[in-house]
């Protein structure tokens, strides 16, 4: 039957996460929220502990705690604290508390590694349903508020003048971020969710002239990284989630180097042209 | 050099029925757009059926962390008038503007905006994150998308034609300010708010910029609120001047304010000739600026 193959399920799950992460990852990069993504993702461990203690679904537990964490950070960010320090404290505190809490509830022996680094090869059909529903919700929300989100990101005052409430847009991003974390925990795990948000977006930057194109390129890079990472992990027997992130990082490296090369080549070409006809470049 | 004769022939973006949401009256539909170009503020007011006072602050007070930045500000932005807010650095000018657009919540007092009034805002500076790629054309279509033709016309009007495909981040300071102005005008504002909008322009560029502002007021009849510290040029362009230093020191016509002791205490007494030199006449000679 369709979806019987675990590799196919893993691939579909990973691509779903990559697509949901693309628009959000771009906003995380544009709004300098990298630490924010980290803190939200790390809080997810606490959500796992909560879910195990109350024996509710991991997805619900993670979504709840990630949402609370994201809201808290979002509220604090307007108060003039040193944000990077505060987020650094919150992010690692959430991780540490989460790990301690999980150790308390593990009368059933749980594989902590599965939550820290994901367990994409164990994705079931119901997980696929959750992942793709989450992806659809995130994408619809982004599409619905796209112009407002973009305006508020460019300049909050411009947004205000156009009748857009920047705070509201920030809240929407916060909720979407928590949703992506909850969806991605099974695929990439807590520790590397932030990487799947940031790396494809950063790699896409040099190839984009508009925000929309950057999101599309980021989605493509994310999808390529996850699919080839999965196959790499199958072939080399390496852990899947770190393999996917490694491929993404490799793509980022290629993107950065190719941009630098392009710039260098253009300068060389310019010099050559100038050498041939010195009047051509003069104003 | 754009002159008035050229300006008369260009299309307008404004749809007069928008503000009220009513269908245009027979009078409006019968109007020839070309005859509107020199439209006086009064006729625009009639078409709008909007009140004379578009945006006003009453007893506006703003505090940041217990410190009062603005206290008890009263001002009114009127259709077809250029109101200029002047004041030394740190006097709360930008805060005043930002509270008028709703970006700063006042701790006391009220800001009244006539329903349906559309604001065009040109910020003092726009810090662009280098990770965000955006072309001029895309920027002009934020948050509402505009027809390509209207966008290129707006750029041409602002004196930065054919910049559509350029990345916003690669523009010079002056080009950037003009693009910001073009964007604010595309949104077809009833009130245009400019925060030190000529910053980053050289002396000549600033003079041309203010001329352009006056031309916009003449053509569109919208209200304009400017914040600046470039005294002589600004004082010359303004109809009304409010001098702010945490609170309102004095207000009135440029000549009145310039002769106020409170103004002179802040800025010294400007030579009368400087004012006269730059002062606009009601009927500027076409194309000779």
What tens digit of pLDDT does each residue of B65-115 get? 888 899 999 999 988 889 999 888 888 888 999 999 999 999 999 998 888
Range of the domain at B88: 4-118+189-278
Residues of A in contact with B66 (CB under 8 A): none
Tell me if B183 is assigned to some domain. no
The answer to the question of residue A251 being in a domain is: no
Which pLDDT does position A71 carry in this prediction? 85
Backbone angles phi, psi at B168, to 5 degrees: -55, -35
Within-domain flag for A188: yes
| Cα of B241 to nearest chain A Cα, Å | 23
- Report whether A51 contacts A104 (CB < 8 A): no
The 3-state DSSP composition of chain B as helix, strand, coil percent (nearest 5) reads 35, 20, 40
| Average pLDDT across chain A, whole number | 88
| Residues in chain B within 8 Å Cβ distance of A167 | none
- B287 occurs within a structural domain: no
Task: Tell me the CATH number at B114.
Answer: 3.40.50.300
Residue B47, pLDDT > 90, answer no
Interface touch B128/A202, C-beta < 8 Å: no
- Tell whether A13 is covered by a domain: yes
Residue A14 near residue A120 (C-beta atoms within 8 A)? yes
The tokens of B236 are what?
């010359």
What ipTM was estimated for this complex? 0.84
CB contact at 8 A, A42 and A100: no
Is A156–B103 a contact, with Cβ atoms under 8 angstroms apart?
A: yes
Task: Establish if B115 touches chain A: CB-CB under 8 angstroms.
Answer: no
| A 155-174: CB under 8 A from B | 155-162, 164
How many angstroms separate the Cα of B73 from the Cα of each of A160, B112, B241? 21, 13, 14
Inter-chain contact B102–A160, Cβ cutoff 8 Å?
A: yes
CB-CB neighbours of A60 under 10 Å: 14
Q: Are B121 and B101 in contact (CB under 8 A)?
A: yes
Q: Give the whole-angstrom CA distance, residue A41 versus residue A62.
A: 9
The answer to whether residue A1 sits within a structural domain is no
Angle between the A6-30 and A166-184 helix axes, to the nearest 10 degrees? 150
Rounded to a whole number, what is the distance in Å from the CA of A93 to chain B's nearest CA? Answer: 29
CA distance B225 to chain A (A): 13
Alpha-carbon span A181 to A174, nearest angstrom: 11
Instruction: Specify if A99 maps to a domain.
Output: yes
Query: B-chain residues within 8 Å CB-CB of A148?
Result: 143
Cα–Cα distance measured from residue B155 to residue A140, given in angstroms and rounded to the nearest whole number = 33
For A1-16, what is each residue's pLDDT tens digit?
A: 566 788 999 999 999 9
Q: Do B140 and B154 touch, CB atoms closer than 8 A?
A: yes
- Whether residue A169 lies inside any domain: the answer is yes
Is B286 contained in some domain?
no
With contact defined as beta carbons under 8 Å apart, do B141 and B151 qualify? yes
Q: What is the DSSP letter of B135?
A: B
B158 within domain boundaries:
no
In a domain, A227, yes or no: no
Structural domain includes residue A17:
yes
What average pLDDT does the structure give for chain B? 75
Note whether B81 and B41 are within 8 A (CB).
yes
Give the number of residues written for chain A.
283
pLDDT at residue number A79: 63
Q: How many domains does chain B have?
A: 1
Chain A residues with CB inside 8 Å of B103's CB? 156-157, 160-161
Q: Which of A23-37, B18-32, B86-100 has the lowest mean pLDDT?
A: B18-32
When scoring B18, B103, B163, B194 by the number of chain A Cβ atoms within 10 A, the one with the most, hence best to mutate, is B103
CA distance B165 to chain A (A): 9
Enclosing domain of residue A57: 6-194
Residues of B in contact with A202 (CB under 8 A): 131
CATH number at A81 reads 1.10.3470.10
Number of domains chain A contains: 1
């Amino acid at each position: 039957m369709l979806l019987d193959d675990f590799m196919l399920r893993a691939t579909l799950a990973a691509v779903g996460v990559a697509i949901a992460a693309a628009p959000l990852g771009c906003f995380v990069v544009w709004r300098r929220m990298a630490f924010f993504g980290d803190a939200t993702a790390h809080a997810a461990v606490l959500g796992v502990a909560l879910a195990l203690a109350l024996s509710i679904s991991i997805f619900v537990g993670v979504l709840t705690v990630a949402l609370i964490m994201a809201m808290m950070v979002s509220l604090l960010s307007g108060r003039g604290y040193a944000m990077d320090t505060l987020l650094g404290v919150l992010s690692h505190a959430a991780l540490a508390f989460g790990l301690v809490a999980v150790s308390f509830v593990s009368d059933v022996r749980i594989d902590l590694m599965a939550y820290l680094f994901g367990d994409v090869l164990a994705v079931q059909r119901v997980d696929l349903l959750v992942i793709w529903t989450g992806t659809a919700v995130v994408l619809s929300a982004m599409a619905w508020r796209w112009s407002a989100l973009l305006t508020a990101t460019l300049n909050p005052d411009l947004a205000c003048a156009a009748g857009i409430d920047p705070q509201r847009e920030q809240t929407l991003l916060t909720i979407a971020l928590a949703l992506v974390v909850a969806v991605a925990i099974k695929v990439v795990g807590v520790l590397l969710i932030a990487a799947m948000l940031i790396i494809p977006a950063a790699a896409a930057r040099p190839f984009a002239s508009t925000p929309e194109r950057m999101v599309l390129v980021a989605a493509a890079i994310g999808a390529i990284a996850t699919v080839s990472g999965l196959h790499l992990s199958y072939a080399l027997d390496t852990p899947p989630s770190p393999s996917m992130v490694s491929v993404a990082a490799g793509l980022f490296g290629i993107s950065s180097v190719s941009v630098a090369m392009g710039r260098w080549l253009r300068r060389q070409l310019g010099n050559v042209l100038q050498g041939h006809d010195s009047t051509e470049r003069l104003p | 050099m754009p002159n008035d004769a050229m300006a008369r022939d260009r299309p307008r973006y404004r749809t007069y029925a928008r503000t009220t949401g009513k269908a245009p009256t027979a009078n409006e539909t019968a109007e020839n757009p070309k005859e509107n170009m020199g439209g006086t503020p009064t006729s625009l007011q009639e078409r709008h059926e909007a009140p004379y006072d578009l945006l006003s602050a009453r007893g506006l007070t703003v505090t940041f962390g217990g410190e009062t930045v603005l206290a008890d500000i009263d001002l009114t932005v009127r259709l077809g008038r250029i109101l200029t807010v002047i004041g030394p650095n740190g006097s709360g000018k930008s805060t005043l503007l930002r509270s008028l657009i709703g970006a700063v919540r006042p701790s006391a007092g009220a800001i009244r905006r006539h329903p349906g009034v559309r604001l065009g805002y040109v910020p003092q500076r726009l810090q662009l994150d280098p990770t965000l790629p955006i072309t001029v054309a895309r920027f002009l279509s934020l948050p509402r998308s505009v027809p390509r033709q209207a966008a290129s016309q707006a750029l041409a009007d602002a004196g930065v034609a054919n910049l559509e495909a350029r990345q916003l981040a690669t523009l010079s300071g002056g080009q950037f300010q003009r693009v910001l102005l073009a964007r604010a005008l595309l949104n077809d504002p009833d009130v245009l708010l400019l925060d030190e909008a000529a910053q980053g322009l050289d002396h000549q560029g600033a003079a041309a910029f203010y001329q352009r502002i006056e031309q916009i007021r003449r053509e569109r009849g919208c209200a304009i609120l400017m914040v600046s510290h470039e005294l002589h040029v600004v004082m010359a362009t303004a109809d009304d001047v409010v001098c702010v230093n945490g609170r309102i020191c004095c207000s009135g016509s440029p000549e009145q304010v310039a002769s106020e002791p409170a103004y002179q205490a802040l800025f010294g007494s400007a030579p009368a000739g400087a004012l006269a030199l730059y002062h606009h006449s009601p009927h500027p000679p076409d194309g000779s600026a």
